[in-house]
Amino acid sequence: MQIAILGAGNIGGTIGEKWAKAGHTVRFGVRDPQKPQVQSLVKSLGANASASSIADALRGAKVVLFAIPGKTMAEAIAAHAPALDGRILIDATNNIGAESVNSFPAFKQHTPNASIYRTFNCYGWENFKNPIPGADLFYAGTDGAAKKTIEQLISDVGLHPVYVGGVDQAALLDGVLGLWFALAGGQKMGRKLAFKVLTN
Ligand SMILES: NC(=O)c1ccc[n+]([C@@H]2O[C@H](COP(=O)([O-])OP(=O)(O)OC[C@H]3O[C@@H](n4cnc5c(N)ncnc54)[C@H](OP(=O)(O)O)[C@@H]3O)[C@@H](O)[C@H]2O)c1
């Protein structure tokens, strides 16, 4: 699968590594593809990874993962709306302190034909690098065929996907982030904290 990852930092770099190793073609869309950290990341991932401008990374991508600062999201989505609309978009960003922590309002405004998902936002990046076996990862978004793709991509990172509902449930993932912060930081349980749903 051809995937564009906007941002090549903790989140973009970690998840990109997992997806490249799973056999996907990953192109990091960044402001400066020549930046040494970006170049060494791409080199370490081999033939399945490359870096380019955001516009070039979006060309031909089936899926786009957003891993840039939350406060830059509205501008990025508006600037690349024609290239993003109709694709599978994943919002892993957190715009802490803003009216909406997720960027679904901007997706709804600028990319009305995209399949939009909220996930990878609610754990520290360490849980994507070295997942606890059996841990769940919640996701919300478009209730359509693209859910299969999201579940595959979550599994490729080493977590178990749990669908919590449609586009109207995106803010639930912001709440999960709040719970994660309260336990990992507030209750000093540590950043390697993940959730598991039990039923019987
Ligand atoms: N860190 C975590 O554990 C964690 C967990 C879940 C979700 N998140 C969310 O994931 C997102 C990324 O976090 P991170 O920890 O990966 O951050 P990071 O390590 O600082 O990486 C941020 C990336 O975004 C790029 N970037 C910065 N400003 C940009 C702009 N205006 N336009 C385009 N690209 C820009 C940076 O590129 P340059 O090198 O050019 O600055 C870098 O590649 C944030 O929204 C964060 O809230 C983080």
For the stretch 11-48, pLDDT in tens is 999 999 999 999 999 999 999 999 999 999 999 999 99
Band (111; pLDDT cuts 50, 70, 90): very high
Best of 68, 173, 176 for a ligand 1 pocket test (most atoms within 8 Å of beta carbon):
68
pLDDT in tens, 79-101: 999 999 999 999 999 999 999 99
**CA distances for 125 relative to 4, 26, 52, angstroms:** 18, 18, 23
Residues contacting ligand 1 via CB (< 6 Å): 7-12, 30-32, 35, 67-70, 72, 76, 92-94, 121, 124-125
Percent of the chain with pLDDT over 90: 100
Q: What is the pLDDT of residue 48?
A: 97
Tell me what percent of the chain is helix, strand and coil, each rounded to the nearest 5.
45, 20, 35
Instruction: Pick the atom of ligand 1 nearest to 126's CA.
Output: 3
Minimal CA–CA distance to 15: which of 151, 156, 141?
Answer: 156
Q: How far is the CA of 12 from the centre of ligand 1 (A)?
A: 7
Minimal CA–CA distance to 180: which of 134, 126, 103?
Answer: 126
**Half-sphere exposure in the Cβ direction for 53 (13 Å, CA):** 5
d(CA 123, CA 132): 12
Query: Model pTM?
Result: 0.98
